[in-house]
Amino acid sequence: MTICPTMHTLRVAFITLFTTGRLAAQQAAPAPAPRPYRPGVDVLDYALSLDLPDSGNHIEGRAVLTVRRTARTDTLVLDLVRLRVDSVLVDERATGFGRDSGTIRIPLPAASSDTLTVAVRYGGPVTDGLVMRNDSAWGWTAFADNWPNRGRHWIPSVDHPSDKATVSWTVRAPSRLKVIANGVRLGEDPVGGSNPPRTVTRWRMNEPIPVYLMVIAAAPLYEYDLGETACGLTLVGRCVHQWVYVEPQLADFLPGPFRSAADIVSYFGSLVGPFPYERLAHLESSTRFGGMENATAIFYPDQPFRKRTMTDGVVAHETAHQWFGDAVTETEWSHLWLSEGFATYLAALWARKSAGDSAFRAEMEEMRRAVLSSPIVAERPVIDTAEQNLMALLNRNSYQKGGFVLHMLRSTLGDSAFFRGLRHYYDRYRNGNALSDDFRRELEASSGTPLGWFFDQWLRRPGFPELTTSWTYDAAAKRVTLSITQATRFGRYRFPLTVDITTAAGRRVRTRVAVSAQTNTRVTLDPPLDAAPLDLVFDPDVELLARIVSGRR
């Protein structure tokens, strides 16, 4: 997802207020091992039928879940906030159930098989998750906006990223609206005898996804067909068919930034591995986010369309999530960087591909600036197991620092080992879940380098290195000696450091030194220089996430 600017302001205020208490809590207790969200059950499939209203926010629904029991458990707990529950059937037999404001507790028969079907009939006014509104420009629309756990406001579900499932949609809506959902459209049929006319639209997603990515859109939508793209770079079909949907009066804006959509999917497909799904739609919507990566149906906010300020950067970010976030999903929210850091860095790589090295460099400089100036980075680790407010995880740790960590892995391991490890990680965990150590193991295998120290210092500790550098020239020995001093605030770091030397003759010589996790590092450089150099530049290619103060020689 992309954060929108207003959210960012709110978050900074929140962080400032609550910093002290949370920091104390983090230091007091070691992180507990992640506990399964709903132990003993795994939802395999959701068959969701919804009746949408002509106006207002009242829905009627039926959810049929295929649930596998993975351990001995006698109760299925589903998330569903507030809505009325009329009936529950387990394997087509009516059963009693417990209900509170956030869950349905369903007793499971002891002697049944491992796999059960659970049907819930429910309904009522929806207050979040499926956003139904009346907009002066657009009229009545419904757009799902589930992140992080708002899907439970309209879908009876195991609403956690660790439980992924396939989903079918059957949506009855006024015929003047187009209904888009995850996966492939199976059909559109008029509902007999309805007045005003209603249409039932069916969609099917064959790949498992978490509930926060299960969405529908129902709105008057103009369809722009981008055609078959990324042919040969997709897993499921031969090509990825892409479309853009906007409110009808904005038809002339298209293709706009979606001109790049074909190349973006092709580029990431060649870099990471085949696109995971059959199709990809891009929709103007009412999402509160700057963009939301719903599987096969990316939702963007309406304002950048209406102001015509949409750029291909947000398209690249949300499209990258189809690989990371959607196909490979973090098992725990605390590993959100596996989603947001990856999308942030892949979007920067797209900038390099489409706009050149200087654009990429500028993007990495901006990413580093954002990290170095962030209070949250100074206080919390990227893998933040103590944070209970999921919205607060949409921060510069998950995005910019996570993205820069990938950049450092790439520069430390080299393109070949880094991208081979990234491709293996995607291939192994596609349509499943992963944690940071799963990614680490793939990079260790591809590079032959142990990386526990790297993941610990960059992801499990707050902060970044703060360096003071200086150098001296010894005329008798014809050598330059570097001195690198690490401040103690965030502990010591180990990293490779590139140094560009401008010789007295004006020649540029590049060297790379290994800096150890200690306060002072002194390194005498090869090769010998006949005269004192004119200048030394530390980290000339923006490869190190550090604050560097260059002292005098």
List contacts with Zn ion (CB under 5 A): 1, 340, 343
Beta strands in 110-197 (DSSP E): 115-125, 130-135, 139-144, 165-174, 178-181, 184-190
Beta strands in 267-404 (DSSP E): 279-285, 297-301, 328-330
Residue (1 or 262) nearer to Zn ion, CB: 1
Q: In whole angstroms, how close is the CB of 311 to Zn ion at the nearest point? A: 15
Q: In whole angstroms, how close is the CB of 1 to Zn ion at the nearest point? A: 4
Q: In whole angstroms, how close is the CB of 395 to Zn ion at the nearest point? A: 12
Residue (149 or 446) nearer to Zn ion, CB: 149
**Could you tell me which of 380, 379, 351 has the C-alpha nearest to residue 363?**
351
Question: Are the C-beta atoms of residues 377 and 397 closer than 8 Å to each other?
Answer: yes
Residue (1 or 338) nearer to Zn ion, CB: 1
Residue 218: C-alpha distances to residues 172, 178, 285, 304 (Å): 10, 6, 10, 20
Residue (61 or 341) nearer to Zn ion, CB: 341
Q: In whole angstroms, how close is the CB of 120 to Zn ion at the nearest point? A: 31
Residue (73 or 311) nearer to Zn ion, CB: 311
Residues contacting residue 82 through CB under 8 Å, at least 6 positions apart: 101, 124, 127, 153
- Cα angle 498, 324, 272 (rounded to 5 degrees) comes to 65
Residue whose structure tokens are 């020689």: 553
How far is 223 from 255, CA to CA, in rounded Å?
11
Q: In whole angstroms, how close is the CB of 5 to Zn ion at the nearest point? A: 15
Q: In whole angstroms, how close is the CB of 452 to Zn ion at the nearest point? A: 27
**Closest residue to Zn ion in the complex (CB):** 1
Instruction: Give the count of alpha carbons within 13 A of 373, CB side only.
Output: 7
Residue whose structure tokens are 């007999």: 192
How far is 333 from 216, CA to CA, in rounded Å?
23
Residue (262 or 343) nearer to Zn ion, CB: 343
DSSP state of 30: P
Residue (1 or 297) nearer to Zn ion, CB: 1
Q: In whole angstroms, how close is the CB of 408 to Zn ion at the nearest point? A: 20
